[in-house]
Structures are given as structure tokens and as C-alpha cells.
């Protein structure tokens, strides 16, 4: 019997710290989650012009706004708060503000768009990515002096094509909402090729709202409709069989307003990323359970993964893979041993020995378990990178899990569908570790730590909504309920700031 191949998060790790973030209630927006391939994060090909900044001084005085500047700024902020997902509705908010309040709103808007809306204390432990400190005052002052407010506003968002694509998708879904959204489909028998009737017509009309390739007319379930169903199922992370059952109906019935808030939640997480993303990197979408390797900002390898189940969440983090352990033993976390393995040994004596576990004295009166490399739950490859959660990427002898579309089943680590391919790709610049040498070491069975000549950046990211360059948005379930948690924290931060401003 193979034991669960995951690992568990370290509970003693301390939080990161960053500079304090400010937030006003006017900029907070509620976010939800709802039930689509790995998200790419290349830099923009042509980022908007960035207004030059200088180091901020504590006494830096903000200049007075002219009438024209005040009017322009009010319009820009109102429009951009919708475009950047700071407000759930797209209706104009014509609010009269005095000059001081307008300046404050501009600075708060800049912080929210550039670095997110949370304070340090709002981040929970597993959200192991923090936005960089950011002071908007120098850029704002320079923009006022040079009359370049529009360029300054345009320079604020994260400089990534993935963010831009989500922003385009957000605009598209706002348009759908403004047009009335969609009507929920009623439950009924499975719909497939050959079906016909009112249910099929309703399905076709619903799909056509998000899929312009589909003709809205017709009550026949033909090949074109089947292909549209498959496209929708891929966007939602479902089995693209082209047959409509309860899962597909549930995904199609998520209200457009919830989809908008889901996009907004993911745009917020984009703002936490570093100012520069390494062009050569390994990237995991935790919610979609997919790993992608980028070389020169282009995807060169992709594979299925198994990520942490709810309760044993895979954390968001940024690190660097520094070594690959070949034929790794498994040093079992005490929490897993106490919760699952020791009870199995008690119930069935000999279980541990039969599954390759040995008991090791810790030297302080305690005992820990280690599973031999021959039977290791980590398989033949373990990819190590420094992090406070004690998680890593690894192989697994249990391949059946990769055939599932819902692949959140580990204790927090990330299991890989094709670890040998990844190891050979990452070690291609390490002369002594040729593919033949890797294969020979694996066949020998000896545990060896292979240090990479060139460390490779690794990003574990939580995307429940992501879009392609055309603004076509894919969605995933929010398995950890982090979208909803994020919404609550933003709302609480907004309320706190609103009270402080009174």
C-alpha cells in the first residue's frame, strides 16, 4: 500500500514583513470565489510609460491641483477603479471630493493598484508572497508638475501580460453583466449529441454569451454545440467530453457577478508579485494543479501536478530550486506520523516495516520515521528550494492521481507527472549531470543530492481565474476558499480605514 505522497506545512514558520499599506473604504471591493491551464506571467511586451520617480522625503509637499487637474483626476480614478478591479460594478460614480480628499484618493488608488489593498497583518501564513514597499507620492508629484496624470495612472498596474489579460477579461464580463448576465440552466437529463428541445436551446444561448464562436440559434445538440461544450469544460477545468451533466451545469450557473469578483480576487494577487519575474522559471498553478516551465519567458514544458488538499494547503511562495535529490528517502513529518502512520502500526503490527519505514531515535527521547528510497513516497526525484513551509516538488509512485481533473490530494507538497523530464531540463547546464548520468544514478538506487549549476526560480501561485491574450478567461474552483478570505480581509481593512478617517 502506498502512503500519501505529500508533505505537511511547517507550523513554526514566521511571517514576512513589509511596509504598512493604507486603504480607504471607497476603494475596497467585495470579492467572491467560484468554480479553468497554467497561467503565464511574462512581462508586457510594451509596458505603459512610467513616470520617473525620486526617493520620497517625509516632508515632501504635495502641490495644489488646478481646476483642470482636479476634474481630470476625478474622471481617471473613477474609470480606472473599475478597469483595475477595485470596484465590482461598472456604473460611473460621480462623487464630488474636495482637493485634499481627491489627492488622498489618488494616492490610495495608486497603492491599491500597484501593491494591493492589504496590510501586513492581513496576510495569512500560507500567503507567502508579499508586495514590495511602494510610495506613490514621488510619481504623483512628478505627474502633476509635468501634466501627465493619465500616463501615471497607466503606469501603476503590475507589468505582466497575465494581469493585462485578466483586466481585459474583467471588462468583457462587466459588459456581460451590463447586458443582463445569463439565466441559470435548470437541472435535467444529460445532454449530448442527438439531444434536442428547450434545454438544448437554453444551453446554446448560455454558452454563446461567453463563446462568440457558437451560433445562438437552434435546439439541436449538434457537433458545433458539442465542441462549444468542450471549450467551456476546458475553461472550467472539467472533463472536456462535450457531454453536459451536473458538474457542467453547476459551472455554467455561477452568476456573472461572482465571476467578476473571482477575476478581481486574482488581479489582487498579481499585485503581490515581485517587480520582475525571472524569464527562466518553474511555475505551479496550485488551484489548477499544473506545472509549467518557462525558458526566456516562453513555456517549454507543462505537466499535471497534484497539490495540497484543503486543510493541507500548498502555500503561495517564490524561491529558487537549488538541487535535485535522486532516489530520496522520505523523512516523515511528525504530524503525519502521529496522525496516520503510528495508528496504522498499532492497528496492524508490521505495517511500518512492510512499507519500508524505519524508526529513528531523535536523541531527545522522541522517535521519527524515515521511509527508504526503495519504497519512498517521494518516488525517484525531489526538487529542493528554500522556504519556510518545508514544501518541495517531487515524484510519486502513485500515478493514478494524474488522471483526475480534481488533483488536490497531497499534504502540501507538489507531486509531478513527469519529474524525470523536469530534472533533465533543469540540470542541462550542470555538466556532470547528463541525462545518461541521471538515468544511471536512478538505476543504481543510491541517494544522491545533485546541486544545480544554475539555480532556477520557482513560483507557487494560486490562480482561480486566468486569461489568454484575447481576454478569454478560464476559471477554477476556489478549493482553499482564499478568494472569499481575501474579500473579507479587504472589506475589514476598508472598514478600519474608514473609521480612522472620521
Is residue 26 exposed (0-12), middle (13-18) or buried (19+ Cβ within 10 Å)? Answer: buried
Q: Which residues of 177-210 are buried (b: 16+ CB within 10 A; e: fewer)?
A: beeeebeebeeeeebbeebeeebbbbbbbbbbbb
Q: How far is CA 278 from the centre of its chain?
A: 17
Ramachandran area for residue 333 (φ above 0: left; ψ -120 to 50: alpha; else beta): beta
Helices (H), 337-444: 342-347, 351-354, 419-426, 435-444
Q: Are 391 and 272 in contact (CB under 8 A)?
A: no
Helix (H, G, I), strand (E, B) or coil at 360: strand
Q: Are 317 and 374 in contact (CB under 8 A)?
A: no
**Closest of 320, 292, 307, 296 to residue 401, by C-alpha:** 307
Phi, psi dihedrals of residue 211, rounded to the nearest 5°: -125, 95
Helices (H) and strands (E) in the chain, counts: 15, 14
Ramachandran area for residue 486 (φ above 0: left; ψ -120 to 50: alpha; else beta): alpha
Half-sphere exposure of 47 (CA within 13 A, CB side): 18
* Annotation marks residue 7 as catalytic: no
3-class SS string, 7-24: CCCCCCCCCCCCCCCCCC
Question: Which cell numbers hold the place of 146?
Answer: 509635468
Catalytic residue, from 7, 174, 411, 413: name it. 413
Catalytic residue, from 109, 174, 394, 411: name it. 394
* Annotation marks residue 413 as catalytic: yes
Half-sphere exposure of 485 (CA within 13 A, CB side): 12
DSSP E strand stretches across 193-289: 281-285
Active site residues: 394, 413
Amino acid at each position: 500500500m502506498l502512503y500519501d505522497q505529500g508533505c505537511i506545512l511547517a507550523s513554526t514558520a514566521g511571517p514576512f514583513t513589509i511596509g504598512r499599506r493604507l486603504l480607504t473604504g471607497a476603494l475596497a471591493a467585495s470579492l467572491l470565489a467560484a468554480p479553468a491551464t497554467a497561467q503565464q506571467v511574462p512581462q508586457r511586451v510594451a509596458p505603459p510609460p512610467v513616470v520617473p520617480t525620486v526617493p520620497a522625503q517625509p516632508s515632501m509637499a504635495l502641490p495644489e491641483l488646478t481646476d483642470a487637474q482636479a476634474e481630470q483626476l476625478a474622471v481617471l480614478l473613477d474609470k480606472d477603479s473599475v478597469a483595475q478591479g477595485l470596484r465590482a460594478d461598472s456604473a460611473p460614480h460621480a462623487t464630488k471630493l474636495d482637493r485634499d480628499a481627491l489627492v488622498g484618493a489618488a494616492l490610495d488608488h495608486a497603492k491599491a493598484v500597484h501593491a494591493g489593498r492589504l496590510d501586513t497583518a492581513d496576510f495569512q501564513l500560507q500567503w507567502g508572497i508579499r508586495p514590495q514597499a511602494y510610495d506613490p507620492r514621488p510619481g504623483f508629484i512628478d505627474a502633476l508638475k509635468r501634466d501627465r496624470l493619465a500616463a501615471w495612472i497607466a503606469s501603476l498596474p503590475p507589468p505582466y501580460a497575465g494581469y493585462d489579460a485578466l483586466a481585459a477579461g474583467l471588462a468583457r464580463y462587466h459588459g456581460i453583466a451590463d447586458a443582463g448576465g445569463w439565466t441559470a440552466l435548470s437541472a435535467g437529463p444529460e445532454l449530448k449529441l442527438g439531444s434536442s428541445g428547450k434545454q438544448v436551446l437554453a444551453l446554446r444561448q448560455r454558452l454563446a454569451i461567453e463563446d462568440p464562436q457558437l451560433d445562438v440559434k437552434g435546439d439541436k445538440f449538434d457537433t458545433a454545440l458539442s465542441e462549444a461544450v468542450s471549450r467551456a469544460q476546458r475553461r472550467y477545468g472539467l472533463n472536456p467530453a462535450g457531454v453536459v451533466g451536473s458538474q457542467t451545469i453547476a459551472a455554467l450557473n455561477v452568476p456573472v457577478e461572482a465571476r467578476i469578483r473571482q477575476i478581481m480576487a486574482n488581479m489582487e494577487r498579481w499585485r503581490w508579485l515581485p517587480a520582475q519575474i525571472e524569464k527562466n522559471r518553474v511555475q505551479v498553478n496550485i488551484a489548477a494543479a499544473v506545472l509549467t516551465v518557462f525558458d526566456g519567458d516562453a513555456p517549454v514544458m507543462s505537466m499535471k501536478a497534484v497539490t495540497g488538499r484543503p486543510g493541507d494547503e500548498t502555500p503561495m511562495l517564490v524561491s529558487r530550486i537549488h538541487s535535485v535529490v535522486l532516489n530520496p528517502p522520505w523523512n516523515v513529518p511528525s504530524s503525519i506520523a502521529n496522525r496516520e502512520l503510528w495508528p496504522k502500526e498499532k492497528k496492524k503490527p508490521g505495517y511500518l516495516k512492510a512499507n519500508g519505514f524505519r524508526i529513528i531515535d531523535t536523541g531527545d527521547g522522541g522517535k521519527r520515521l524515515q521511509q527508504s528510497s526503495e519504497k519512498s513516497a517521494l518516488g525517484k526525484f525531489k526538487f529542493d528550494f528554500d522556504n519556510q513551509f518545508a514544501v518541495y516538488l517531487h515524484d510519486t509512485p502513485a500515478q493514478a492521481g494524474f488522471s483526475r481533473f480534481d488533483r488536490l490530494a497531497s499534504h502540501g507538497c507538489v507531486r509531478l507527472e513527469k519529474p524525470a523530464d523536469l530534472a533533465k531540463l533543469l540540470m542541462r547546464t550542470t555538466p556532470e549531470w547528463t541525462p545518461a548520468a541521471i538515468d544511471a544514478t536512478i538505476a543504481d538506487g543510491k541517494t544522491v543530492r545533485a546541486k544545480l549549476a544554475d539555480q532556477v526560480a520557482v513560483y507557487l501561485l494560486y490562480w482561480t481565474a486566468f486569461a489568454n491574450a484575447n481576454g478569454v478567461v478560464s476559471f477554477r474552483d476556489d478549493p482553499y476558499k482564499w478568494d472569499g478570505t481575501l474579500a473579507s480581509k479587504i472589506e475589514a481593512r476598508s472598514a478600519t480605514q474608514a473609521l480612522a478617517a472620521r
